[in-house]
Amino acid sequence: GTCCSYRLRDALHPLWQSPLSIPGGTRQSPIDIQWRDSIFDPYLRPLKISYDPDTCLHIWNNGYSFLVEFEDSMDKSIIMGGPLENQYRLKQFHFHWGAINEWGSEHTIDSRVYPAELHLVHWNAVKYESFEEAVMEGNGLAVIGVFLKLGAYHEGLQKLVDALPAVKHKDEIVEFDTFDPSCLLPSCPDYWTYAGSLTTPPLTESVTWIIKKKAIEVDENQLEAFRMLLFTSPGEEEKRMVDNFRPLQPLMNRTVRSSFQ
Ligand SMILES: Clc1ccc(Cc2nnn[n-]2)cc1
Ligand SMILES: [Zn+2]
């Protein structure tokens, strides 16, 4: 059946390290969020998001995903509230996706997999001097996760899709100006939150995850555009950039809180 091929696919996938390779990992990501086990926390505040489209710098293919990076020397694109004690600055956003629509997201909801997942990566500029420093600290990062599902064409995403051919190969970079990533967020304010980690090296346990309950819709052509990117550099044997997600990690001694009842 398909389920065992997923597990087998996870185990064999060359790209990701098994949990065994993270000594003492007690808060690794991604995880399966079991809706019924999540606990409504009435003290969770609404998440406040304020992005300045002029802080957008460029898109680049880093060989794992494509990242849109932001100028983060000032508090111009920030999030606060929700589960966060401080204000966090937007550093970059990127996606994880599958070779086919049957899988691709990192997190799952009651084992439901989505075709892709958006991650907006922010760092705690109140407590730390740089993103690099924050990556190593327990409260250093806050990542908003948004599921993508197959459906209607997404107007806001298309500007990004149109730029992808310019970063087809690893290490290619192209200027990208005036993009407001809040157009990629669902209007519903509901989210889950839990303490986790980065899902690619350095896999540091520095992330407060904020996973939006509602998915955004994108169409087949837009998902296919992600799949035409390459892991490989120009001149190398082409390897399509697909299945760039880490297998699910054990929940261990963690609680997932919800902002909604
Ligand atoms: Cl600095 C950095 C390292 C890895 C990733 C990949 C990732 N980690 N968690 N979600 N995506 C993002 C930023
Ligand atoms: Zn990610």
Mean pLDDT per block of 10 residues along the chain (261 residues) reads 46 54 83 98 97 97 97 98 98 98 98 98 98 97 98 98 98 95 98 97 96 98 98 97 97 98 95
Centroid of ligand 1 to alpha carbon of 155 (angstroms): 26
Structure-block tokens of residue 240: 């399509």
Q: Ligand 1, residue 96: give the atom nearest the CA.
A: 11
Centroid of ligand 1 to alpha carbon of 82 (angstroms): 21
| pLDDT tens column, 108-150 | 999 999 999 999 999 999 999 999 999 999 999 999 999 999 9
pTM of the model: 0.93
How large is the ipTM?
A: 0.93
What is the pLDDT at residue 174?
97
Tell me which residue has its CA closest to atom 12 in ligand 1: 198
Ligand 1 binding pocket (C-beta < 6 A) is 119, 121, 135, 143, 198-200
Percent pLDDT > 70 in the chain is: 91
Under 8 Å CB-to-CB from 59, ≥6 apart: which residues?
Answer: 66, 67, 68, 69, 160, 163, 164, 166, 167, 173, 174, 176
Under 8 Å between Cβ of 168 and 230: yes
What is the pLDDT at residue 18?
56
From 31, 198, 246, give the residue whose CB has the most ligand 1 atoms within 8 Å, as the site to mutate.
Answer: 198
Task: Note if the bond before 46 is cis, omega within 30 degrees.
Answer: no
